[in-house]
Amino acid sequence: MNISVITFLLPLALAFIMFYLGLTLCTDDFKKVMLRPRALVAGLIGQLLMVPLLGLLVAWATHLDPVMAVGLMVLAACPGGVSSGLLTRLAHGDVALSISLTAVTSVVAMLSLPLVVNAAMHIFMATGLSVEFPLGGMVRKIFLLTTVPVLAGMALRAWQTQRVKRLEPVAGRISTGLFVLIVLSTFWDQRQVLVSHLGTIGLAGLLLNLLILSGAWLLSWQARLTRNDRISVVTECGLQNSALGIYVCIELLKSPTMSVPSVVYALLMNGGAIIFVLLMRANAGKHGPATIPASS
């Protein structure tokens, strides 16, 4: 699949994935999360601050070249992935919190992602390169590709609740298939670049995933969240919206090579998430329903 086909199908596939996310949401999901603001705040801090900072640290520590470093920061600035809700359920976490965090970070990403990527451009590509970053245009396109489809899905669910519930499993399978298609297509198109940078970007992606999972668990533990909420925060932070990262690099930044970190991380993050799920399920019987200590 050549790059012109990818750039044509990628926005449509991403919009449908975000539309599916909206189909799984209703206003009550947000109301429930508002009753536990500590968990919401911990998740937002982890996704919007911790993950980009860890991405910056890993890019420096592994001495990535400027293009790959910016690509890694694009990935780190993306919101939570749509598969985090499913993996949260498998790990016996709080699915409503996971879905709500994904939705909130997807909306916030409309502003935070361009700002983080713009900063990364100046940090890693300021020397010897003149890069024009389409900040205003990127905000508009991200809004159209993320926020609008989510709101449309929520509106359809509110209007045709029973029909949407019947169609939701099919839409979920289609979304998963589209995500796999995006990753594999980009992987095939960038296979030569991927092989030549595997030693560096593979190490960087693995290190970033380990740091995110560990950091999110520590953050949620320090916030005194219940075990179920901790699981939600960890899966939310560990699973990035790699499809959005690929789109930003290929379509908005016009750099297919820059999408390699998103492709690599899409493969690595699922491996890390599966291991985390297995650990949580293996230890589920040892933990009763945790409670949050009373706060002052």
Give pLDDT tens digits for 57-112.
999 999 888 899 999 999 999 888 766 776 787 787 877 788 778 777 877 877 78
Out of 130-134, 186-190, 235-239, the most confident range is: 235-239
More confident residue, 212 or 35: 212
More confident residue, 275 or 14: 275
State the pLDDT at residue 2.
Answer: 47
Say what the pTM is.
0.74
Expressed in angstroms, the distance from the first to the final Cα of the chain is 58
Question: Looking up tokens 């890993």, which residue turns up?
Answer: 58
State the pLDDT at residue 264.
Answer: 85
**CA nearest neighbour of 90 among 273, 217, 295:** 273
C-beta of residue 64 within 8 angstroms of C-beta of residue 253: no
Please tell me the CATH code under which domain 3-278 is placed. Answer: 1.20.1530.20
Residue 210 scores a pLDDT above 50: yes
> What 3-state class would DSSP assign to 63?
coil
C-beta of residue 237 within 8 angstroms of C-beta of residue 80: yes
Looking at every residue in the chain, the average pLDDT score rounds to 78
C-beta of residue 52 within 8 angstroms of C-beta of residue 73: yes
For residue 240, the cross-strand partners are 80
Inter-axis angle of helices 260-282 and 66-77, nearest 10? 50
- For residue 27, name the pLDDT band (cuts at 50, 70, 90): confident
Spatial distance between the Cα atoms of 70 and 52, rounded to a whole number of angstroms: 11
Residue 290 scores a pLDDT above 50: no
- Domain-wise residue ranges, the chain: 3-278
The number of residues in the chain equals 296
State the pLDDT at residue 286.
Answer: 58
- For residue 152, name the pLDDT band (cuts at 50, 70, 90): confident
* Proportion of the chain above pLDDT 90, given as a percent: 16
**CA nearest neighbour of 30 among 80, 88, 87, 104:** 104
Question: Looking up tokens 């640290």, which residue turns up?
Answer: 57
C-beta of residue 7 within 8 angstroms of C-beta of residue 166: no
State the pLDDT at residue 54.
Answer: 95
Spatial distance between the Cα atoms of 228 and 291, rounded to a whole number of angstroms: 10
